Structure 1
Amino acid sequence: MLALVIALSLVTHVAAADKIAIIIDDIGNHPEDLAAAELPGDVTFAVLPFTPYGRAFALKAHHQGKQIMAHVPMQALAGNALGLGALTADMSSAEIKLKLRQVLDDIPYVAGINNHMGSQLTQLTQPMQAVMESLRNHDLYFIDSRTTEYTVAEQIAHRYQVPVARRHVFIDNETNKQYLSQQFDELIRLARQQGTAIAIGHPYPETIAFLKQRLSTLEQEGIQLVFASELTVTSELSIPSGLLETRQ
């Protein structure tokens, strides 16, 4: 009987664990990025398309049991250089869908996408509708990196019944250990408050070294690391198009 009680308590503890997802963005430009695949646990990696090491990384990380996303460049308000595979506001819906198809052909094992930059594009209804139509057709999810507070990406994802979630914390806008610890603690705080939280980081050596150490403590903290896909939600009802706000 005692063994049964202990077993039930362990099951309850696991079921009640708060969950986090960690996405490492900007993978593919440098050979050092390949080392990020060695991070322990269910880490999600967002790979830039048409980069020198992106495809090799996706192959390596997939075979190590990681989850792969496409980190799709999208037009920014500041006019940042976008690189190959970018989606821009002047593209037609057909052009956006074709570009996404090319991105998916370049990066193997993609389960979802998130936006690289995109402070302009994610505010615009027509381009994001094209994105979500494409994702729905390919059974992919979307993580809104939230590079603007005016993003309509989640709203439109719900309309098209695309699984979606949002970034809550950027963990390495600075790479000193104090800042990394501060941001990771905020991630844990939000997860305990909300039940789930998502962080985005980058393959900086300081970030990778910090995460290798900190991820090993999650179990003792009662936190479960999961792939980003596990924290997405899908709306049961589509949103009428009249409720969508178009921002130019």
Structure 2
Amino acid sequence: MATQKPQSVTKKKTTKKRKKLTLKQKVRLYTWLFRITLFLLFISLGFLIYSFNTTKTIPEIQYIELECETIPERDIYIPTIKTPKEEIPKQPIVKNIPKPKLAIIIDDVASSYETKNILKSSKSITPSFFPKNSDHPNTPELSTKFKTYMIHLPLEANSNFTSQEAGVLKVGDPISKIDNTIKNILASFPDLKYVNNHTGSVYSSDYNSMYKLLSVLKRYNLKYLDSKTISSTKASIVAKDLNMNILVRDVFIDNILDKNIIKKQLKKAVNIAKEKGSAIAIGHPKKITLQTIKESASLFKDVELVLIHELYN
């Protein structure tokens, strides 16, 4: 069995065999290394030139035609665009403004002759009849010829007025007498609704007398028109105290029986109606008065001639 030599001894021997290269050997070695490197460079360069000169064929792309499912045709909603129309400015609404109202009352009516003349003059005149008595027996019958009429109730006048009517109411009369007077009138004129006073300068000026009269009229649902025969009349004051609506005369048209003056008074009544919205004119059944009213149609073009009930309404 051979004995193993220690490794340290062998290493020492190998190291001793390595010799350093001489300068000549180094030059020779480097020369070969340079040649080998240069050879490798030429080979690499040639390969690159060859690869650039050769054209590569690009494979043709094959397109596959796909069958698509046919989509059924459908109606397509296309909204209609409305072109804006040229706006036409709206005409202002002209409201029919009611004309001022004028009521003409003809007092002291008692005969068929007067009745006929009133109807010939205008259908928009309201007659006021005397109550039925021995002097005026036909007034109830005459009143039926009119749609609207009044009773011309006699009231006490001053001492200068001598021709007083029968059955006149006087200051100091008890309310029972006034009540009986109105009852008798209603018996003759069952459809009566409106009353105005004949004369009455004394009676109308007395508060207590007017209070009793208007209280009775209110009880029977009768409307009162104050003829206003005197400026000191208490009718409006009493009516307010009784919570009662009454009407008041604005113009007397024929205190003077002259056509020009009557026209002037009618024009005054028209102007009052324009100012207040309504007016009441009182005249009498004189031929000249009724004829002037008939001829004055042009005066009434700006007002509406109405019967007295239209002013109460």
Which band: TM-score by shorter chain?
Answer: 0.7 to 0.9
**Structure 2 residue 224 is the aligned partner of structure 1 residue 139:** no
Pick aligned residue for 1:195 from 268, 277, 280: 277
Name the counterpart of 1:245.
none
Secondary structure of the 1:184 match is helix
Corresponding residue for residue 246 of structure 1? none
**Structure 2 equivalent of residue 81 of structure 1:** 163
1:53 to 115, 138, 143: 138
How many residues get paired?
A: 220
2:303 matched residue in structure 1: 223
Distance 1:193 1:24 in 2: 23
Contact in 2 for aligned 1:85/1:103 (Cα 8 Å): no
> Does residue 1:42 correspond to 2:127, yes or no?
no
Match of 2:255 among 154, 159, 173: 173
Q: 1 or 2 for the larger relative contact order (CA 8 Å, sep ≥6)?
A: 1
Q: Computing the radius of gyration over CA atoms, which structure comes out larger, 1 or 2?
A: 2
Instruction: State the Cα distance separating 1:215 from its structure 2 match.
Output: 4.1
Q: Does the C-alpha gap of structure 1 residues 207 and 82 become closer, same or farther in structure 2, counting only changes over 3 Å?
A: same
Identity of aligned residues (%): 26
For residues 131 and 140 of structure 2, the distance between their equivalents in structure 1, rounded to whole angstroms, comes to: 8
Q: Which letter does structure 2 place at the counterpart of 1:70?
A: I
Q: Separation in 2 of the partners of 1:25 and 1:172?
A: 11
CA distance in 2, matches of 1:85, 1:108: 19
Distance 2:96 2:239 in 1: 33
Q: 1:31 aligns with which of 92, 108, 112?
A: 112
Q: CA deviation at 1:178?
A: 0.6
1:110: how far off? 1.8
- Secondary structure of 1:60's counterpart equals coil
Deviation at 1:183, TM superposition (A): 0.6
**Equivalent AA in structure 2 for residue 231 of structure 1:** L
Q: Say whether the 8 Å CA contact 2:267–2:299 is kept in structure 1.
A: no
1:59 CA drift (Å): 1.0
Which of 204, 210, 234 is equivalent to 2:286?
204
Question: 1:103, CA displacement in angstroms?
Answer: 2.0
- TM-score normalised over the length of structure 2: 0.65
Q: 1:95 to 1:84 in 2, by over 3 A?
A: same
CA distance in 2 between counterparts of 1:37 and 1:163 reads 29
- Given that 2:259 and 2:292 are in contact with CA atoms closer than 8 Å, whether structure 1 keeps it comes out as yes
Aligned-partner Cα distance in 1 for 2:273–2:149: 22
TM-score by length of 1: 0.81
Report the Cα distance in structure 2 between the residues aligned to 1:176 and 1:81, rounded to whole angstroms: 23
- For the 8 Å contact 1:74–1:116, the answer to whether it is kept is yes
Equivalent position amino acid for 2:96 in 1: T
Which segment is superposed worse, 170-179 or 79-88? 79-88
* Partner Cα distance (1:227, 1:130) in 2: 27
CA RMSD of aligned residues (A): 2.3
Between stretches 183-192 and 33-42, larger displacement belongs to: 33-42
